[in-house]
Chains A and B, each alone.
Chain A
């Protein structure tokens, strides 16, 4: 764990703005443990009813795609344009499409 002289561990904070929405990343903060991270997140990121639910996770527990892999990692979706509705030509007089 983090050296006692140094900073508390870093946490990433996700807030659900209201029912029906996803939790969205809002920023990060330091806390000694998970419970304190939730309390700090409430004080730092939701002083004006910005959320109905908070997730916190230690930053070092997140695995991310690397920016350098941008092309190869996202290529499988980039060349499949037929996954988008605009790929298909439908006569403009056909309703409700």
Chain B
């Protein structure tokens, strides 16, 4: 209206930077640097894809849950993950990318999702371990993201964090129940924890000295903590939980460091991590093929609903 139509870019940039400086939020219709927009799109899309692909490893067990109680819980949990994906997709769309484009970038491998979901779920104990360790790691990662600088992303995170606590607790309770069972059940839990511990620690991403985007993302307030900080937090939170459960975390280097008031721990196998994120994990092909099939098989439903809506609008 009154503002000069082409407000000088340096002025706009100054307003943007002052907003970030005040720890205030950037909202969809604000001017933002193209690189900021791209970085937020990449991070939120990757996060959304992870929620959606993350339904598969656990969904695998819904029809074989050991009781109606466990089945109802697992169904609700997996349904929540679908919801999380949808909150995040809609946050991402406020940056001018469409849902269809996002889905296509996922199934064409142009955007990534969390490496953890490329590991298989081999026993029902894995449902418990995923809730405890994978949702646990997700909580570590997501709580600080409630204060991320992009408004819609932060609001999605707040909603998601409220729901995650149920996910972690149901997993821990499942494992605790098995640990009170037979020797065989206890072995199942330990075996499952052995498989998931390192991949769960990899969820925070590469070590800080090998994470080129972290500094810029933190300067923009998109990320609030470094990968290694969050990983340390996860280890410190998990050790007493493992003790209470009666399982061993499979790391011979894990020990309390009195000086640092924190645990020392070993390094995940970063070659394995690179392998998994570049598509060579145990389940990458299967996960994407399944998502692609769901998208393609659902096409006629989406079209029929549009045709029905168009007819309703004419009548």
Cβ-based interface call for A7 (8 A): yes
Query: Is A73 in contact with B87, judged by CB distance below 8 angstroms?
Result: no
B305: CB under 8 A from chain A?
Answer: yes
B31 to chain A, nearest CB (A): 8
What total of A-B pairs shows CB separation below 8 Å? 70
Q: How far is the CA of A33 from the CA of B305 in the complex (A)?
A: 8
| A10: nearest chain-B partner, CB-CB | B93
The B132-175 residues at the A interface (CB cut-off 8 A) are 155-156, 159, 163
Q: Is the CB of B308 within 8 A of A32?
A: yes
Residue A68 interfacial (CB < 8 Å): yes
Taking each of A30, A32, A43, A67, which has the highest tally of chain B beta carbons within 10 Å of its own beta carbon?
A32
Q: List residues of B (74-90) whose CB comes within 8 Å of A's CBs.
A: 76, 79-80, 83, 86-87, 90
Taking a contact as CB atoms under 8 Å apart, the answer to whether A72 and B306 are in contact is no
- A68–B307 alpha-carbon span in the complex (Å): 39
Main secondary structure of the interface of B (DSSP, over half): helix
Asked if A86 lies at the interface with its beta carbon under 8 angstroms from chain B, I say no
Interface residue tally for chain B (C-beta within 8 Å):
34
In angstroms, how far is the closest chain B Cβ from the Cβ of A72?
5
**Which of A1, A43, A67, A71 meets B313, CB within 8 Å?**
A1
- With contact pairs A7-B99, A66-B29 given, residues A44 and B305 touching in the complex (Cβ less than 8 Å): no
**Which residues 50-97 of A sit at the B interface, judged by CB distance below 8 A?**
64, 66-69, 71-73
Residue of A nearest to B83 (CB): A44
Interface residues of A in 5-44 (CB under 8 A from B): 5-8, 10, 26-30, 32-33, 36, 43-44
A49 within 8 A of B: no
Known: A47-B83, A67-B27. A27 touches B155 (CB 8 A): yes
B312 CB contacts on chain A under 8 angstroms: 33
CB closest chain-A residue, reference B1: A69
Instruction: Tell me if B2 is interfacial: C-beta within 8 Å of chain A.
Output: yes
Q: Report if A68-B156 is in contact (Cβ < 8 Å); known contacts: A28-B93, A32-B309, A44-B83.
A: no
Chain B residues with Cβ below 8 Å from A44 are 83, 86-87
Q: Which of B277-315 contact A (CB under 8 A)?
A: 302-303, 305-310, 312-313
Knowing A10-B93, A28-B93, say if A4 contacts B307 (CB, 8 Å): yes
Q: Which residues of B contact A (CB under 8 A)?
A: 1-3, 7, 27, 29-31, 76, 79-80, 83, 86-87, 90-91, 93, 98-100, 155-156, 159, 163, 302-303, 305-310, 312-313
A-B contact pairs, 6 of them (CB 8 A): A1-B309, A27-B156, A33-B308, A33-B309, A66-B29, A69-B1
A6-B98, A8-B306 known, 16 other contacts, Cβ within 8 Å: A4-B303, A4-B307, A8-B305, A27-B90, A27-B156, A28-B93, A29-B86, A32-B305, A32-B306, A36-B305, A44-B83, A47-B79, A67-B27, A67-B29, A68-B3, A72-B1
Binding site for B on A (CB under 8 A): 1-2, 4-8, 10, 26-30, 32-33, 36, 43-44, 47-48, 64, 66-69, 71-73
